Amino acid sequence: MAIALRKSDEIEKLRAANKIVGGALELLKANTKVGMTLRELDAMAEDYIRSHGAKPSFKGLYGFPNAVCTSLNQVIIHGIPTDYKLQEGDVIGYDIGTELDGWFGDAAITVAVGKVSQEDEALIACAKDTLYHAIDNIKEGMRFKELSYLMEKFIVSRGFVPLRNFCGHGIGKKPHEEPEIPNYLDGNNPKSGPKIKNGMVFCLEPMICQKDTKPIILENKWDVVSADGLRGSHYEHTVAVINGKAEILSLA
C-alpha cells in the first residue's frame, strides 16, 4: 500500500486534530498529582477533547474501552485507566488520539508523579530525547529504516533498549496508516525500503525498556510490559514533512 502524500490543506486539518491532542496532554500533565485516579484523568481528557469539537479516537478502537491509554510504571503502552490513585514516585504515560472532521491526531508523553528516582528521570528523558533527536534529523529522501536505526542507536547510547513488535505509523483519514516505523532497525540494511517525502504525515513513538526488548501483554489484553518487569517510558508526536523537514503537528 502506498504512503499518502498530503496537500497543504489536508496537513492543516491534521494539525487541527493534533492540536487538540497536544492540549489534552498539557491538561493531564498539569493535573498529574498524588491522589488523582487514572479514571479521573481519562474523563478529564475526554471532556477536553469533546469540548473542542473532536472525538476521542481511541475509545472503541480495536475494542479499547477509554479515551486515554494510561500506562503506569511497568506498563509501557496501552494501559487501561483504573481507580488507582497516583502516588509519589510513580511514572505515568498518557497516549491520546482524536478525530476531528474525519482526520486523526495522536501523541503521547510520560510524566513523573512528584519526585522520582534519577533512574526514572533518565528513563523518561530517553523517550523524549529520542523523539526530538529523530524529528530534528528527518529530511526528505532519507529512508524510514534509516530513521528507525537512528532511534535505536540513540536509545542504546542512553543505556536502554527499544520495545519490539510495536511501532510508529502513518496517520491521516485513519488512525493507523502506512508505513510502520519501528524504533529499531528491522533487518540488516537501513538503506532499504521506502523514502521519506514531502507531504508525508506520520507518528514517531519511542517506547523504552530497561533491559529486555520482549513485550508481554497482560491479562486485560491491553497493558504491554517488558519481559524484564521493569518500568518503561513512551513519547510520541505526529509530524508532517514540509519543505524537506519534519514539523510537529501535535503541539498545543
Q: What is the mean pLDDT of the chain?
A: 97
Asked if the model's pLDDT at residue 42 lies above 80, the reply is yes
Report which of 71, 68, 75 is spatially closest to residue 96, judged by C-alpha positions.
68
pLDDT at 7 over 70: yes
pLDDT bin (cut points 50, 70, 90) of residue 164 is very high
Average pLDDT value for residue range 241-252: 97
Q: Where are the domains of the chain?
A: 8-248
Tell me the pLDDT band of 1, cut-offs 50, 70 and 90.
Answer: low
Total-model pTM: 0.97
Contacts of 7 (CB under 8 A, 6+ apart): 199
* Residue range 169-192, pLDDT digits in tens: 999 999 999 999 999 999 999 999
Q: Examine the pLDDT at 61 and tell me if it is beyond 80.
A: yes
**Which architecture does CATH list for 8-248?**
Alpha-Beta Complex (3.90)
Q: How many residues belong to the chain?
A: 252
Taking residue 184's Cβ as centre, other Cβ atoms within 10 Å add up to 17
Could you give the count of Cα atoms lying within 13 Å of 233 in the half-sphere of its Cβ? 24
